[in-house]
């Protein structure tokens, strides 16, 4: 069975987002071993400087990289990345599977975003939207698209 991971910075505290993530994780588990990995946020002082924010991004990037490198492929989620529709996103996953890449990770940065270093090392940068969404809402959106991708790959009717 294929392995899919969502690796993100910070813990979800809002109950409705946690419940939404848990629900999609349960649904994806029918198709793949799905891992939900949360690396810890780097705590910044109040009103951090640009340098402190860049530093936090770098440290969080290292924490993400440490987990991501165990996968055959990993992708960064970033508003400035390449745009996919749901079918193209499912093709991306399918193509990796076809190439024998059976474990894929998707990375979501913290409130400071993803470091340039991790973006360079990734297998691709994916954009869902020009808009900025709350970090934890975005995780639900990503899990929903992964679930949708598997239902497309398996030619199943997607039940909303």
92 — phi, psi (to 5°)? -60, -45
CA angle 51, 54, 57 (to 5 degrees): 150
Is 80 among the residues that bind a second copy (CB under 8 A)? Answer: no
The CA distances from residue 154 to 75, 76, 93, 129, in Å, are 22, 24, 12, 25
> Which residue in the set 108, 145, 146, 150 belongs to the binding site for a second copy (CB under 8 A)?
145
Is 92 among the residues that bind a second copy (CB under 8 A)? Answer: no
> Which residue in the set 36, 55, 102, 111 belongs to the binding site for a second copy (CB under 8 A)?
111
Q: Measured from the CB of residue 6, what is the shortest distance to a second copy in angstroms?
A: 16
Q: Measured from the CB of residue 91, what is the shortest distance to a second copy in angstroms?
A: 13
- State both tokens at 11: 């813990």
> Which residue in the set 3, 17, 52, 67 belongs to the binding site for a second copy (CB under 8 A)?
17
Chain residues 26-65 in contact with a second copy, contact rule CB under 8 A: none
Q: Which of 9, 10, 6 is nearest to 34 (CA)?
A: 6
Cα 74 from Cα 153, distance rounded (Å): 19
Chain residues binding a second copy by CB under 8 A are 14-17, 19-20, 23, 79, 83-86, 89, 111, 128-137, 140-141, 144-145, 148, 160
């Amino acid at each position: 069975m294929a392995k899919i991971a969502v690796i993100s910075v910070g813990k979800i505290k809002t109950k409705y987002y946690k419940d939404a993530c848990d629900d999609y994780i349960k649904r994806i588990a029918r198709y793949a071993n799905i891992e939900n990995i949360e690396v810890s946020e780097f705590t910044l002082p109040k009103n951090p400087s640009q340098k402190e924010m860049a530093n936090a991004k770098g440290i969080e990037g290292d924490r993400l990289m440490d987990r991501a490198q165990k996968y055959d492929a990993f992708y960064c989620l970033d508003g400035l990345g390449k745009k996919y529709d749901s079918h193209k996103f499912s093709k991306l996953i399918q193509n990796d599977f076809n190439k024998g890449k059976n474990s894929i990770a998707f990375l979501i940065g913290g409130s400071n975003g993803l470091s340039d270093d991790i973006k360079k090392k990734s297998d691709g940068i994916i954009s869902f939207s020009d808009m900025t969404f709350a970090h934890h809402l975005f995780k639900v959106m990503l899990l929903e698209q992964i679930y949708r991708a598997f239902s497309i790959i398996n030619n199943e009717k997607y039940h909303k």
